[in-house]
């Protein structure tokens, strides 16, 4: 079961679980035992709801922090990257390092996306940006050289292209 499904439907999941448990309790326990078991079941359902809400808030806070950090780091390099992309001459070693730093940022974003801490809509936007830079044959050559070193946490061109095709919203399927 995916985490985003649980985050969207935790109330219904808790209610369904409690109703199933209460049905079993009523069916298989004596009248004297029922009240205690039902109370425990209701407490467990409420505890589950609290836990999911807390987890969702913690992950949203982490996402906000990561999102701000990644965008800040990208903002510091975007002018250089755009300059490299629009120039028509060979990329020198200093420019190459700037491109490699960008690839490292992309790989970090991918790592956190894979762990479920980056929203799909944000990942989609970042993938579209990566595709934009990789359309430049000189930048693509650097990518092709670098990706063979397997230093980008498994990020591949295929995963970038798949990410760029994700729906704009996680609610769209």
The predicted-structure confidence for 8-63, as pLDDT tens digits, reads as follows: 999 999 999 999 999 999 999 999 999 999 999 999 999 999 999 999 999 999 99
Tell the residue number behind the tokens 């995963």, with chain if given: 159
Rounded to two decimals, the pTM is 0.80
Q: What is the pLDDT of residue 173?
A: 40
Q: What is the pLDDT of residue 86?
A: 93
Q: What is the pLDDT of residue 143?
A: 96
d(CA 56, CA 21): 25
d(CA 141, CA 87): 15
């Amino acid at each position: 079961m995916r985490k985003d499904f649980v985050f969207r439907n935790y109330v219904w999941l808790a209610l369904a679980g409690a109703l199933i448990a209460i049905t079993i309790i009523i069916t298989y326990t004596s009248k004297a035992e029922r009240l205690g078991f039902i109370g425990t079941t209701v407490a467990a359902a409420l505890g589950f709801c609290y836990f999911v809400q807390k987890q969702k808030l913690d992950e949203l806070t982490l996402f906000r922090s990561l999102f701000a950090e990644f965008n800040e780091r990208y903002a510091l390099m975007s002018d250089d990257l755009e300059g490299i992309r629009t120039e028509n001459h060979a990329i020198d070693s200093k420019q190459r390092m700037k491109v490699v730093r960008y690839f490292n940022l992309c790989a970090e974003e991918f790592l956190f996306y894979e762990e479920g801490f980056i929203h799909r809509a944000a990942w989609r936007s970042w993938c579209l940006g990566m595709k934009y830079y990789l359309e430049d044959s000189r930048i693509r050559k650097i990518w092709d050289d670098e990706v063979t070193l397997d230093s980008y946490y498994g990020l591949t061109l295929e995963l970038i292209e798949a990410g760029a095709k994700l729906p704009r919203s996680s609610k769209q399927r």
